[in-house]
Every structure is written in structure tokens, then in C-alpha cells.
Amino acid sequence: MTKVKICGLMEAEHVQAAVGAGADAVGFVFAPSRRRVDPAWASELAKLVPEGVLKVGVFVNAPEEEIFTVHRNVPLDLIQYHGDESPETIRRIGLPAIKAFSVRTEEDVKRASDYDVDYWLFDAPGTDYRGGSGRVFDWTLLEKAGIPRERTIIAGGLHPGNAADAVAQVRPFALDVSSGVETESRKDPALIRSFIAQVRERREA
Ligand SMILES: O=C(O)c1ccccc1N[C@@H]1O[C@H](COP(=O)(O)O)[C@@H](O)[C@H]1O
């Protein structure tokens, strides 16, 4: 049963749309991005997220103190490290973790085994920022690298039109989407519902 994370939420209406449509996790970006949210606002948005839906904070090479400060103020369940954070840094911080990897080659995928984290997230290389590029990577590289699917999250260029294919081909733990559920750079409730419906249909097939 593939789960869904809707990332880069900035508005109350969109958090409600995601949880109302059955998202398993929501993401708030604290890294440089047009989707960046202020921690004080994220803590308000977090109040709209019911028990059982995970709240994920996305960081890119943030100082450890910044991560701890945000974590004290926003009730995050998982920290998503979307930069060049080392295994030692993530271990020292000691919070439940997702480590993201930009995938160009099989070697990029294999780097995941250096990280003892809760989930490995595989994404396409970024353009303006480290994530949220809307680009797809070659999913067959995961199979070639022999990565365990039950700890794998797929991201990068997912949208309602390819979500079911990603589930069928990769059978990951979860899909993570940001730009693929936006219209004119804002989250689109109809696309969020459609994305989750595609994954649901596939996982119930
Ligand atoms: O969404 C962002 O703006 C972002 C910025 C910096 C790091 C990560 C970010 N989001 C993550 O990017 C991927 C892919 O997003 P997309 O669907 O291709 O737009 C996803 O893991 C987001 O969590």
C-alpha cells in the first residue's frame, strides 16, 4: 500500500485539501525555495493536520541549531535532509529522518546504504533549488542498485498522470510530490485529490 506525501504546503486551504484527500504525510519546506514557510506559520498549519498524518520538515544543509530550533517550535514527525548532510550529522542530530538523494547514476542510489535513516528518498537533480524541480529520474536505477523498497520514497516530477506508473514500476513505500500538484505555482486541490486517487486506485488494484 503505497503512501503519499504532499510537500511544499504553504496555505491552510491546501493543507486541508491534502489531509481531506487522504494524504499520509505533509511537508513544510524550511530551505531556500519559493515554497519556504516561516516556522511560526508552519506551526499554525501543523494544527490542521490530524493525528496519524505525518508532518515532515524539509531542510537543505541547514545548521544543526536551526533544525533543533524549528523542531522545538513545529511538531514535526520527520526531518527530510535534502542536501549534502553526512551520515554522521544526521546521526548526531538524532531525530527521525528521511535522507534525499539526487539520482543521475546507479552510484547515486548506492550512496543510500551509507545512511542509517528511517527512509531513503530518491529525487531528480534540482534546478533552481535542491528539490521541487518537477523533473523525473530513471526509476530503473533503483532496481539495478538493489535498494529495499519498503524504505524507499520516490520523488521528482510526479503528477496525476504518472503516479500510478511509479507505484506499479517501483512499488515504493511512498510517493512524494510537490510541483506536480500545482497550477501556476500554487497547490491545486483538484490535482492533489487526483494524485491521491491515482495512487489509491493502483494500490487497491
Ligand atoms: O519543494 C521544494 O520547494 C523543495 C525545495 C528544496 C528541497 C526540497 C524541496 N521539495 C522536495 O523536492 C522533491 C521533488 O519535488 P517535485 O515534485 O519534483 O516538485 C520532493 O521530495 C519534495 O519534498
> Which of the four pLDDT bands, split at 50, 70 and 90, describes residue 202?
confident
Which 3 state secondary structure label does DSSP give 7?
Answer: coil
Q: Rounded to the nearest whole angstrom, what is the distance from the C-alpha of residue 70 to the centroid of ligand 1?
A: 19
For residues 168 and 204, what is the distance between their CA atoms, to the nearest angstrom? 11
Contact yes or no for 134/157 (Cβ under 8 A): yes
Contact yes or no for 128/134 (Cβ under 8 A): no
Domain boundaries, the chain: 3-204
Residue nearest to atom 9 of ligand 1 (CA): 131
Atom of ligand 1 at shortest range from CA of 157: 18
Model confidence over 19-72: pLDDT tens digits? 999 999 999 999 999 999 999 999 999 999 999 999 999 999 999 999 999 999
Atom of ligand 1 at shortest range from CA of 182: 19
Model confidence over 156-183: pLDDT tens digits? 999 999 999 999 999 999 999 999 999 9
Length of the chain: 205
pLDDT surpassing 90 at residue 125: no
Residue nearest to atom 2 of ligand 1 (CA): 132
Torsion angles phi and psi, residue 128, rounded to 5: -70, -40
Q: Which position among 114, 116, 123, 128 bears the catalytic label?
A: 123
* Own/partner pairs, 118-121, CB within 8 angstroms, 24+ separation: 118/78, 118/151, 119/78, 119/151, 119/152, 119/153, 119/173, 119/174, 120/147, 120/151, 120/152, 120/153, 121/80, 121/82, 121/152, 121/153, 121/154, 121/155, 121/176
Residue 188 annotated to the active site: no
Burial class (CB in 10 A: 0-12, 13-18, 19+), 30: buried
Q: Rounded to the nearest whole angstrom, what is the distance from the C-alpha of residue 80 to the centroid of ligand 1?
A: 10
- Going from the C-alpha of 133 to that of each of 117, 145, 186, 205, the distances in angstroms are 24, 23, 14, 30
Q: Rounded to the nearest whole angstrom, what is the distance from the C-alpha of residue 153 to the centroid of ligand 1?
A: 12
Residue 108 annotated to the active site: no
**What's the CATH class of domain 3-204?**
alpha beta
> Cβ of 98: how many Cβ atoms within 10 Å?
28
> Which of the four pLDDT bands, split at 50, 70 and 90, describes residue 131?
low
